[in-house]
Amino acid sequence: MVKKIICLVLVLIMAAGLLAACSENNNNNGDETADTKESSRIPMTLSLWLPTDPGTTEEAIQLVSEAINKITQAKYNTAIELHLISRDKYQETIDEKLQAVKTANEEKAAAEEQRRRELRAQKQGGATATETEETEPPVETTINEYGIHVTTYPTVPDTQLDIFLVQGYENYTNYAYSDLIQPIDTELSGSSKVISSYVYPTFIKAIYDFGTFGVPNNHPSGKYQYLLVNKSLVDEYDYNIRELSSLLRSKNFIIDIGNQHLEDVVPLLGPVDASGMVYFSDHVGAEWSLICAQLSDITTYKDQVVPTSLLDNNSYINTLKLVKELQSYGYVGDGTLKEGQRFAMGVIEGDEESIKAYEDDYYISVYTKPMFTEEDIYGSMLSVCEYSKNVTRAMEIITCITTDQELRTVLQYGVEGVHWDYEDPDKKDTIKVISDDYSMDINETGNVFMTYAGEGKTMDYWEQFKAHNRDTISDPFMKMPDYVNDNNREDIEELLRLNEEFKARLDAVSYQDLNAEIKKMKQELAENEAFMRLLDEENEDSIVYQYVDWQETTY
């Protein structure tokens, strides 16, 4: 009798815990479908494939799998079969698995078609043929040690692959065009629309081609270029910081400081390009080229930013002239400082965290906004395989990874008390890693903003980077097809030769001879047929024509 009472109490306790968990989880996302809330949902098992660091052990994977399943089974009645593959083998493993699953499904479909043909033949011959319909297996349970019925989740068959990490634009488009990943637009506008509140919206918009086939792992993208002006020198030499809002407007200040010949001061930290420069050679984003485009602070990936000749870009030329003039006075450093040195003005690349080291000594403004690139969008995204058991249920798991801190932290850091713990058990605001048996890249395990950035960092750490993403500009050449072809290959090779020659000439020319050299170069380029063909908007093989045609066709 006592045992029966104990069992009854345990049942009531577990039921209450389950209800509380469901209530808490529903409050976390606040946008569950009616189907998600139904307690009678069919138990389902989905597979999740991610890369991991080589040091992760099988024992750790098993423990993490159990922790994940406690969350997903209670929340969705969905079990997760977790596959963590060493990063150096991940891509090869995924491609092999995709092919194996595709082959298994094709063989299954062929066998089913053969069975149907045989049934039709039996019917035509007058024989009685019975067709069987494929139905969901009945829900199975086992009784645990407390006498409680526990759901038995089905195993994942060879014909099923559900959620996996897609890395890179080439993989993404190959999988999409090969019908290996599913479009998820319906889910993103319906049961998983909460994702749009957790992932930078432009990321979602930018991945759309003929559909949306994945959820980018939200993360800080790109880096700022900051313009720094020395506070003490501004005050000492009686300058108004508002008048030093750009490099070109600060010429007199830099020269004035240089004229003081202060041993511990570099007037301009190093050579500087005009802001927002993007160069074209045999690819977009080259280090330097005679063909370029310039992005503004509000450029989006849909804007046309037509490539032009670098020597026709006034912003670039004016910045080059200023740097050359300052170099002629010996007022430009090499970008580094010796011990005890400081600089009057300089441009430094970084982010909100790294630039804090300069806040006490320098006025800081943005020189170039961070730009998100193709790699930022497509480098790490969760997709649903074409051969998933259920796309809606798979998207529920992706949504949870994107929006739920508990699941996100388990995926990234492992099991609390085993792989990580709170630094202060009372505050529970920062964590410490206590085991190296489980190690993951934070950019590969979902929305980075939903878990701790690292040891000793509170969740508030991410607030500055959320603002960073809202401040990003887009790379308008993202996803631009390869513009080198058999018809223009020789012209591109000529451009590469010209780039090398003209860069050396610009580096070597003195400030006094710069204007004459630029005039001479522009004339040479105007007479160079290969260079002019690459900028000819009527030439179908030019960089300009291909870019404009692609932009107009795509957007």
* Residue 484, φ and ψ in degrees, nearest 5: -90, 125
| All residues at 6 or more sequence positions from 334 whose CB lies less than 8 Å from its CB, including other chains | 270
User: DSSP state, 152?
Assistant: E
Q: What is the pLDDT of residue 36?
A: 41
Q: What is the pLDDT of residue 34?
A: 37
Q: Is the pLDDT of residue 408 over 70?
A: yes
The tens digit of pLDDT for each residue in 210-225 reads 899 999 999 999 999 9
The band of 129, judged by pLDDT with boundaries at 50, 70 and 90, is: low
Q: Is the pLDDT of residue 550 over 60?
A: yes
d(CA 77, CA 157): 18
Query: Residue 238: how many CA atoms within 13 Å on its side-chain side?
Result: 0
Average pLDDT, the chain: 90
Q: What is the pLDDT of residue 123?
A: 76
Q: What is the pLDDT of residue 209?
A: 81
The tens digit of pLDDT for each residue in 314-327 reads 999 999 999 999 99
Percent pLDDT > 70 in the chain is: 88
The band of 23, judged by pLDDT with boundaries at 50, 70 and 90, is: very low
d(CA 268, CA 333): 6
199-220 burial: b if 16+ Cβ within 10 Å, else e? bbebbbebbeeeebbbbbbbbb
Contact call for residues 326 and 255 (beta carbons, < 8 A): yes
d(CA 348, CA 228): 7
The tens digit of pLDDT for each residue in 139-152 reads 666 665 666 656 78
How long, in residues, is the chain? Answer: 555
For residues 445-474, average pLDDT? 94
Q: Is the pLDDT of residue 471 over 50?
A: yes
Strands 277-280 and 265-268, by their bridges, are unpaired
The band of 11, judged by pLDDT with boundaries at 50, 70 and 90, is: very low
The band of 329, judged by pLDDT with boundaries at 50, 70 and 90, is: very high
**Closest to 305 measured CA to CA, from 317, 293, 314:** 293
Q: Is the pLDDT of residue 29 over 60?
A: no
The tens digit of pLDDT for each residue in 375-402 reads 999 999 999 999 999 999 999 999 999 9
d(CA 350, CA 185): 35
The tens digit of pLDDT for each residue in 251-303 reads 999 999 999 999 999 999 999 999 999 999 999 999 999 999 999 999 988 89
The band of 205, judged by pLDDT with boundaries at 50, 70 and 90, is: confident
For residues 66-86, average pLDDT? 97
Burial tier of 452 (Cβ tally within 10 Å: 0-12, 13-18, 19+): buried
Contact call for residues 91 and 167 (beta carbons, < 8 A): yes
